[in-house]
Structure 1
Amino acid sequence: MIPSTKTLGLALQGIFAAALFASPLLAESGEKNVLIFFIDDLRPELHCYGADYIKSPAIDSLASQGVLFESAYCQQALCAPSRISMMTGQYPDTNGIADLFTPLLKVDPKAVTLPGYFKKRGYVTSSFGKVYHHNRDDKPSWSQLGPKSAIKYASPETLKGIEERVAEGRRKGADVDELRTLGKGPAVEIAEVEDEAYADGQVAKEAIESLRRNKDKPFFMCVGFAKPHLPFATPKRYWDLYKREQFTVPERKLPEGAPSLAFTVWGELRGYLGIPEEGDLTDEQTRELQHGYAASVSFADAQVGKVMAELDRLGLRENTIVVLWGDHGYKLGDYGLWCKHTNLELDTRVPLIISAPGHAKGERSKALVEIIDIFPTVAEMSGGDIPSGREGKSLEPLLQDPGKDFRPFALSQYPRGSTMGYSLRTDRWRYTEWIKSDTKQVVFKELYDHRESETPQKNLADEAEHAELVSKLSQQMNAAQRVGSSKVYEKN
């Protein structure tokens, strides 16, 4: 049968479309594009993680197209170390970064990083928004490095108030730290503006434009959204997705028997206007911040949706590995605490979703995984070799069979001055040792049972009935060789 003119026309359109959207370089080599979403302060409180009240349709959709990891853990609950750990595939003790201010290349000028690895393989490497904590980190590894926007507020009233407070501070002779605090403004903002009035809206736009420019080239793209980091400032329509009365104030009670070293006074939040310098927040303040956090999550989710929609529109989805992760968890009044900066479960457990062509879709994995596993995973699955020195493990076996066992525990750490807290998470227990850097003496131990709660109310480390368990977990931690001659200790 001779096809009709209309049939031939449709067929030719399909051929032309395929030619337009295919990446010839990738088609010849079998390599895959890589798109990684970094989301700041995102705890695994999303609809796809069981938080039914959260509106996160874009991330939920991504989860339906890949594997959602229920037990993923960052290596340190602080922006810079967590992101550098992910980008190097190494623990903080190995790459030497355990603080907020030290650039990676200052410690290790020859560090092998994800963007550097892909750039050497001929990929276009691009970064938009908050990827590394500091934009100055690893600049040579990027083909395109978008500006890190400083926009935190969009309401004219908020901006005017900040300007007036800073001007008054200068008149009174305020020092640099005081002026920085005055310039932070309120912890929340509700503005009648479009998404692009805020930094994350601009980041999504820049990422979309880059996808259009580089659709015919192999690309490694990192897109970093700052929300739901403080301040909880988003367009009003995202606040309108929630009602204030639906939020519950958690019990303000620290775990019994826990050392004070394990907690912080959440100074990050206290620096914002209207937050008390000490003591608890009121119930009203707590609900307002919880509301603002939820709105910020939905705002970030909408930006993810925009970028994913463009990836689909360009016909790139079936040749792109997509990863979404949170750099660390967050406390929203749990235990009466806020922010991150601890080894607690709430701070170290993070969302991780990976959607890869030809692998499991709509599956969940309970396997214990670490964020340092992302490097070897995308290296291997994009058709490359895993460079030596990576301490993570490729997650490809779990992307093929999410029910597999993977590792016996996940490791995290957090410093308190010259004392480092190492934390080991098994399928049930979280065990932490606080170790002096000079003497290597263990000064405190913590053991929490997470069988039924993310916020257990008692430290069990000193109870006789758990002595054998504590000994076993301590041996596991030492066998992991994360304690001792580390670059972090050498700096102290």
Structure 2
Amino acid sequence: MKKNNIVYISAWLLTLPAYGSSQQNENIQKRPNVLFICIDDLRQELGCYGSVVKTPNLDKLAENGSLFFHHYVQIPTSGASRASMLTGRLPRKEQDLSNEACKINLSSKKEQEQPETMFHHLRRNGYYTVGIGKISHYPDGYLYGYTHPKSSRLELPYSWDEMLFDSGKWETGWNAFFGYADGSNRQSRNKQVPPYECADVSDDSYPDGLTANLAIKKMRELSGQEKPFCLAVGFFKPHLPFTAPKKYWDLYDEKTIPLSPVPQIPEGTHRFALHNSNEFNGYLKGDEKVSLDKSASDNYSRKLRHAYFACISYVDAQVGKILDELERLGEKDNTIVIVWGDHGWHLGDQRVWGKHTLMDVSLRSTLIVRAPSACKAVKNYRIVSAVDIYPTLMELCNLSIPEGMDGHSFVELLENPNQSLWSDAAYSYFNNGISVRVPNYRLTRYWHKGECVTELYNYRLKGMEKKNIFSTEKKAIVDELIDVLERKYNFFHKAKP
């Protein structure tokens, strides 16, 4: 891999990425397969991250690969986050922050020289690509409204040899996405539903169980074929509604589930940086309504955290089935496995139940990478971004990296997290704001009612946002951070201060 050209700044901030393109060997005889697993709304709430959540299968994967503790997405909403990751590009315009980013920017265009997504690039280079479930924004990969029949128009028209989904008793992808165990869904019940469900049913009685079964069936077909395969699998949980079979709820004693360590609005944080959990409150049969003015009770908070934890354990079991089949088929040692969460989730932190903020917990998500060429177990504390996944995967597959991406390959970090040429800075965008995360700080600037509002958080001691220290931190540090942030103004902003 070509080394970086480094732009040095103060030691407390480290440096910005400034990489050249990797030199790839295109004459490889046998390229590795790719298993890419997307999990919706999965914050770093796994056993391997130190959580009480029971995730033996993902923990086992992390024990044989690289577990990233400081992976940040670029936009804290599903469709936009996935679009950015899939293209390796930071947002340039307001529509890039929309859940419809793939639809707007990719779906209606003719195939161009520049690859549509990383899966399109793999397909062009001899991979047989299969998508199952929610990989971009639409839950089965086809464009249609919540209450409409499934269409025949692909969200990513050039990325897939096959785009598959088993909608089961729910009949469409959107119904399944918001589905309950009896086959109903949020739409058909006019939102008169609770935000959780504990049903004494089998794994296959919820959509993610069907997705795992379909992935296993397709993997058996793909195994041993002459072409390398790329199988991308998208699971719904732990996205709302928090629905999971009872046996996963039974893994936890609700009375002992820990509450949020930061349940209050941080001192000095501007209210418009947060929100009133409207997506969560849209489940009209919830036990309580919550807002920035009204926290959930401790009992309800524990119930909701219990539900979220059960969903993660349920998805962990589905991932485990796929990984076990990969090994049984003899493909484990020739398959790159990536598990990615599309963003975090507040889970009561800072009085918010949801994502859609530029706070750390909303932007930090799960990332595990296991690659045959880099199989050392690593707990990685370097800062990486979702836009880095595309170039990393291309380097692992010995393919050229297309021009025009903002991400940079972190292949060398997979075995050597102390790599001196890596730059620790991740940029994120939302709510008419831009944020940068460096090792000790997060600096965020919003443009609100024609004014620039700045927030700064220190992670050296607290670990999470508890106080906005912008007005009290040393001027030299603030100036340095503002300079780092301003280097990315050209990508997206509505007005400079």
| 2:429 equivalent among 393, 404, 413 | 413
- The partner residue of 2:460 within 446, 451, 460 is 451
Describe the superposition over 1:224-245 as per-residue Cα deviations: whole angstroms up to 9, x where unpaired: 1111111110110000000101
Match of 1:365 among 380, 390, 401: 380
1:408 is displaced (CA, Å) by 3.1
Aligned partners of 1:67 and 1:402 also within 8 Å: no
Give distance in 2, aligned partners of 1:363 and 1:160: 41
1:461 alignment counterpart: 470
**CA distance in structure 1 between the aligned counterparts of 2:99 and 2:107, rounded to whole angstroms:** 13
Quote the residue 1:131 is aligned against.
Answer: 135
CA distance in 2, matches of 1:60, 1:324: 11
Aligned equivalent of 2:203, options 174, 187, 195:
195
Give the secondary-structure state (helix, strand or coil) at the position aligned to 1:358: coil
SS at 1:424's partner residue? Answer: strand
Q: Which has the higher helix share?
A: 1
With over 3 angstroms needed to count, the CA separation of the structure-2 counterparts of 1:121 and 1:285, relative to structure 1, is: same
Kept after mapping to 2: 8 A contact 1:368/1:408 = yes
- Number of the residue aligned with 1:398: 413
CA contact (8 A) 1:318 1:357 kept: yes
Aligned partner of 1:315 among 303, 309, 330: 330
Alignment partners' CA distance in 2, 1:343 and 1:457: 14
Superposition pairs of residues 262-411 of structure 1, within 5 angstroms: 262-272=273-283, 273-274=285-286, 275-276=288-289, 278=291, 279-405=294-420, 406-411=422-427
Q: Give the drift of 1:466.
A: 2.6
The 1:231/1:366 distance shift into structure 2, 3 A limit, reads same
Q: Displacement of 1:442 after TM fit? A: 5.7
State the distance in 2 between where 1:161 and 1:61 align: 35
Question: Post-superposition shift, 1:452?
Answer: 2.6
The equivalent residue for 1:114 is: 118
Deviation at 1:467, TM superposition (A): 2.4
Indicate the SS of the match to 2:217: helix
Shift of 1:247: 1.6
For these two proteins, the number of residue pairs brought into alignment is 435
Instruction: Note the C-alpha offset of 1:106.
Output: 5.2
TM-score (normalizing by structure 1)? 0.83
Contact 1:346 1:454 (C-alpha < 8 Å) held by counterparts: no
**Alignment of structure 1 residues 204-215 onto 2, 5 Å:** 204-215=212-223
Number of the residue aligned with 2:11: none
Q: Look at both structures and tell me which one has the larger radius of gyration over its CA atoms.
A: 1
Is the contact made by 1:253 and 1:335 (CA closer than 8 Å) also made in structure 2? Answer: yes
Task: Give how far 1:318 is off.
Answer: 0.9
Deviation at 1:449, TM superposition (A): 0.7
Q: Which residue of 2 aligns with 1:21?
A: none
* Structure 2 match to 1:56: 55
The alignment partner of 1:295 has SS state of: helix
Match of 1:11 in 2: none
Aligned-residue offset at 1:95? 9.8
Partners of 2:308 and 2:408 in 1: how far apart? 32
Shift of residue 28, structure 1, vs aligned partner: 7.0
Matched, 1:423 2:423: no
1:403 deviates by 2.4
- Contact 1:31 / 1:382 at 8 angstroms: preserved in 2? yes
Q: Which amino acid aligns with 2:201?
A: V
Partner of 1:93: 92
Maintained 8 Å contact 2:377/2:415: no
Partner of 2:484: 476
- The answer to whether residue 110 in structure 2 is matched with residue 105 in structure 1 is no
User: Which residue is equivalent to 1:74?
Assistant: 73
- Partner SS, residue 237 of structure 1: helix
- For the residue of structure 2 that corresponds to 1:139, the secondary structure is coil
Write the letter of the residue equivalent to 1:76.
Answer: I
Q: Contact 2:435 / 2:442 at 8 angstroms: preserved in 1?
A: yes
Asked if the contact 2:376–2:415 (Cα under 8 Å) also holds between the matched residues in 1, the reply is: no
For the structure 1 residues 108 and 367, does the alpha-carbon distance in structure 2 shift closer, same or farther, using more than 3 Å as the test? farther
Please give the TM-score of this superposition, normalised by the length of structure 2: 0.82
